């Protein structure tokens, strides 16, 4: 189930998220501005009239290289860090108390699931299997209105129930030892074949799945411990979305977070998050 209004009290929002609740927060000025800025930057960089159909005019290599440049800007650009701080505040979080892993842009190509290099994109997983803390909250914004068949799905029965998985293969120090390219994915086009991406070892899709539709400007918030999977799509258009990760440092201090039922990843990416300014 997805709630459409955030509680007035941010601690309550976080506690609900740690219990497995999911929120689709309404559009606000900051989310609208972030999405519009992202769309115009992508349009400018790709140089195509309709970014959802960019693959019709750009070669694979050209598209991949241009998306790599964009990944770098969204993740490292201080302008986007500021925009994200604004959005975090608009969602009721105190940016002075929150560390964040910056914005990542994702593209889901029509038929992308047929490409072996993209296989990890479709692994069912928990974000915490990538060495994020159990207090992790994930934010996700689409750049277009999306129907249920182009988003992803959650498996609520597995939120606090063990899923067989190989998260022990993920070691954050190894992941970044050759620089941030694999972490952010802006250089290596074959990282899907060589990177150690944790995945579920379940052989069948869980019986209970929850999908969702979402409008551009809305922000989905959920626990990094949610078990979920990106849907395969063959609709002829590219899906673009932005996501980010945040941790309220009080939650680390007070050991608040989702239960850890099966995360064996090693290391802690939190130290490399953008930290709140010292006050």
Q: Residue 248, SS3?
A: strand
CA 217 to chain centroid: 15
Residue closer to Fe ion, measured from CB, 127 or 153:
127
Which residues sit opposite 240 in a β-bridge? 107
What is the footprint of Fe ion within residues 149-188 (CB under 5 A)? none
Q: Is the dihedral of CA 135, 201, 2, 28 positive or negative?
A: positive
Q: How far, in Å, CA of 258 to CA of 223, rounded?
A: 7
Smallest distance from Fe ion to CB 245, Å: 10
Comparing every residue's Cβ against Fe ion, the nearest one is: 127
Q: Give Cβ neighbours of residue 240 (< 8 Å, ≥ 6 apart).
A: 38, 39, 42, 51, 52, 105, 106, 107, 142, 143, 144
Residue closer to Fe ion, measured from CB, 80 or 244:
244
Residue closer to Fe ion, measured from CB, 153 or 218:
153
What is the footprint of Fe ion within residues 112-151 (CB under 5 A)? 127
Residue closer to Fe ion, measured from CB, 127 or 262:
127
Residue closer to Fe ion, measured from CB, 127 or 150:
127
Instruction: Number of residues interacting with Fe ion: please give it, by CB under 5 A.
Output: 1
Smallest distance from Fe ion to CB 132, Å: 10
Output the CA angle 101-22-165, nearest 5 degrees. 65
Output the CA angle 68-73-76, nearest 5 degrees. 115
Smallest distance from Fe ion to CB 224, Å: 8
Binding to Fe ion by CB under 5 A, coded x per residue (else -) over 258-277, reads: --------------------
Q: Is the dihedral of CA 251, 254, 255, 258 positive or negative?
A: negative
Smallest distance from Fe ion to CB 228, Å: 6
Residue closer to Fe ion, measured from CB, 55 or 71:
71
Smallest distance from Fe ion to CB 225, Å: 11
Smallest distance from Fe ion to CB 130, Å: 9
Q: Tell me phi and psi for residue 190, to 5 degrees.
A: -105, 15
Give the residues lining the site for Fe ion (CB under 5 A): 127
């Amino acid at each position: 189930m997805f709630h459409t209004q955030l509680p007035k009290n941010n601690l309550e929002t976080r506690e609900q998220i740690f219990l497995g609740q999911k929120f689709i927060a309404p559009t606000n000025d900051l989310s609208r501005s972030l999405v519009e800025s992202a769309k115009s930057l992508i349009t400018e960089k790709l140089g195509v009239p309709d970014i959802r159909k960019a693959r019709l005019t750009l070669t694979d290599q050209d598209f991949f290289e241009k998306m790599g440049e964009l990944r770098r800007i969204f993740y490292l650009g201080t302008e986007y860090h500021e925009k994200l701080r604004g959005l975090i505040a608009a969602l009721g979080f105190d940016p002075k108390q929150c560390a964040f892993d910056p914005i990542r842009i994702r593209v889901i190509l029509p038929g992308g699931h047929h490409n072996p290099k993209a296989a990890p994109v479709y692994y069912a997983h928990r974000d915490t299997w990538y060495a994020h803390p159990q207090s992790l909250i994930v934010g996700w914004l689409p750049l277009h209105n999306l129907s249920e068949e182009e988003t992803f799905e959650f498996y609520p029965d597995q939120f606090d129930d063990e899923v067989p998985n190989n998260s022990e293969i993920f070691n954050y120090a190894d992941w970044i030892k050759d620089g941030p390219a694999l972490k952010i994915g802006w250089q290596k086009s074959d990282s899907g074949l060589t990177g150690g991406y944790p995945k579920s070892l379940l052989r069948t899709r869980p019986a209970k799945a929850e999908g969702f539709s979402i409008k551009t400007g809305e922000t989905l918030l959920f626990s990094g411990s949610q078990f979920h999977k990106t849907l395969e799509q063959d609709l002829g258009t590219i899906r673009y979305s932005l996501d980010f990760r945040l941790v309220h440092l009080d939650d680390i201090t007070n050991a608040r977070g989702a239960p850890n039922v099966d995360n064996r990843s090693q290391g802690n990416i939190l130290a490399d998050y953008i930290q709140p300014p010292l006050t």
